[in-house]
Amino acid sequence: MKLYKLFFVLVFIFSANAYSQSGGSIGMSDARSASMGKTSVTSSLGLRALGNNPANLFNDSLKHVEFLVPLPLPSISSSIGTNFMTVDEYNYFFGYKTTDANGKTIGRYLIDSDKSRLKNLFADGGAITGDVQVQFFAIAIKPNNDFGTIAFSMGDVISSNVTFPKGIIDIGLEGNLLNQVYNFNDTKLKSWWLRKYSFSYARSLNILPIFQKISIGVSLNIIQGFAYAGFDRVNTQLTTGDGNIITGKGDFLAHAAFSPDFNVKYDFDKSTTVKKDFKFSPFPTPAGNGFGFDLGVNAKLNDVWSFGFAITDIGSITWNKNVAEYSSNMPIYLDDLTNQSQRDSLVKALTGKAGGKYISEFSTQLATALRLGASMNINNKLLLAFDYNQGFNDQPRNSTKPRFSIGADWVFGFFALRTGFSFVGFDKFNWGMGCGFDFGFLEMNLGTPDFQSVVSPNTAKRITFAFDSRWKF
């Protein structure tokens, strides 16, 4: 069970994601798109199109082969942070320490205005996400314009969305006030480690005379899942009454699955079989398998205007190895904190400790998202692009909150300067910044969608960076 607990701890503290440049509604993307405020629907050309809009895999470049390898720069992007609390706010509420007259270390005593301020920070939920992308390998080949472009890519993902319930903050600040109801149904946890093998094809079709060129593309994605942990349902509720009596109901459903190679033993497993220690392998046995696909269109009106549409990560994963289910649907009654039986019952109701069991399988959706975009190319020197992203679920790296973004890419010979902004959505606001170097046969890019964290680190909510390189021949 040690690895199982460690996995939960890690997704609360740090998550690493490597997902073939797929970004969902909130997730990371390639370095160029990240620099442009996560703008990519019409502007991510060539291998950068994978996971964003497969139609852009086909472009007007004279290059016939592109590939990504770990040299000279590996394709990596990383992000960890929240959507509700800055570094300054964290330090104010949780980082303050002093000593009393007896030399004992104490924290900050919150006054009423502090309590109201802290509760307001959690008004929209206390969400934490983390991403790290690593592109192991990708190659695209365009024999000629009539044939189109074919591509193959491979990447991994460990990613999570975590939301702490507002009820925890209310109890922590107010204590068990009389006749109060505390709900925990806004609790969320979704985390997974996936590997995706993507086979893509794109080509140009002259089907509407109004457009100079229309490109269509599709990616077929074979998914292997190595680990998953998540809540499917949380409807737990506590009510405080007279005489310090606490009543309510513990109601939730959670699932987990881990590769057999990880040697995980769940706490409900009473078998005497001795589990081996965790052993890392670059190719673990999958705990689940799935299939997904991406569809995209890029319509070029003229040499200036382009319009794009894509739906990415359509599909699901079925987890069927070392699968566990934790559930609880128990009444809660506590009138004596010294009563061991009542305390044990409370723990079981809140954690599902007594409801853990092996099951045959369960399924999860991929992080499906809709993407719309438009761009304006000015003399091949300045590209202005606009995107709208809408996630269809709250899987890791995704959000049902829509996101708008606008980005710019200025080209000065072999050097490019990029910036962009994104609004609303999970992150609420991002300011992207970055640059690129294109030497013809080799391109290198670096940037961040959260440049405001660099300019003003004390007001930062996230730490984000991205860099990559690709070869072109």
Predicted confidence (pLDDT) per residue in 278-292, tens digit: 777 889 999 999 999
Q: Which of 417, 469, 467 is nearest to 442 (CA)?
A: 469
Residues 93-105 have pLDDT tens digits of 877 777 767 778 7
Please determine, for residue 20, whether its predicted confidence score (pLDDT) is greater than 50: no
Residues 160-215 have pLDDT tens digits of 888 888 777 777 777 666 778 888 888 888 999 999 999 999 999 888 889 999 99
Higher pLDDT, 350 or 156: 156
CA dihedral 162, 163, 168, 174 (to 10 degrees): 140
Side chain identity at residue 104, one-letter code = K
The gap from C-alpha 411 to its chain's centroid, in whole angstroms, comes to 30
Q: Which of 431, 408, 430 is nearest to 418 (CA)?
A: 408
Q: Which helix (H) or strand (E) holds 172?
A: helix 166-174
pLDDT band at 17 (very low <50, low <70, confident <90, very high): very low
Q: Is residue 465 part of a domain?
A: yes
Q: Is residue 448 part of a domain?
A: yes
Q: Is residue 230 part of a domain?
A: yes
Q: Is residue 108 part of a domain?
A: no
Please determine, for residue 22, whether its predicted confidence score (pLDDT) is greater than 70: no
Please determine, for residue 326, whether its predicted confidence score (pLDDT) is greater than 80: yes
CATH of the domain at 166: 2.40.160.40
Return the pLDDT at 60: 65
The gap from C-alpha 384 to its chain's centroid, in whole angstroms, comes to 26
Q: Is residue 434 part of a domain?
A: yes
Return the pLDDT at 11: 40
Return the pLDDT at 26: 56
Whether 58 and 431 have beta carbons less than 8 Å apart is answered as no
Number of domains in the chain: 1
Q: What domain range is 403 assigned to? A: 2-84+122-472
Return the pLDDT at 2: 41
Residues 200-258 have pLDDT tens digits of 999 998 888 899 999 999 999 999 999 999 999 888 888 887 777 888 888 889 999 99
The rounded mean pLDDT for the chain is 84
Q: Is residue 116 part of a domain?
A: no
Q: Is residue 113 part of a domain?
A: no
Q: Is residue 110 part of a domain?
A: no
Strands (E), 259-322: 288-300, 305-319
DSSP 186-201: T-EEEEEEEEEEEEEE
pLDDT band at 334 (very low <50, low <70, confident <90, very high): confident
The pair of structure tokens assigned to 155 is 């990447």
Please determine, for residue 106, whether its predicted confidence score (pLDDT) is greater than 80: no
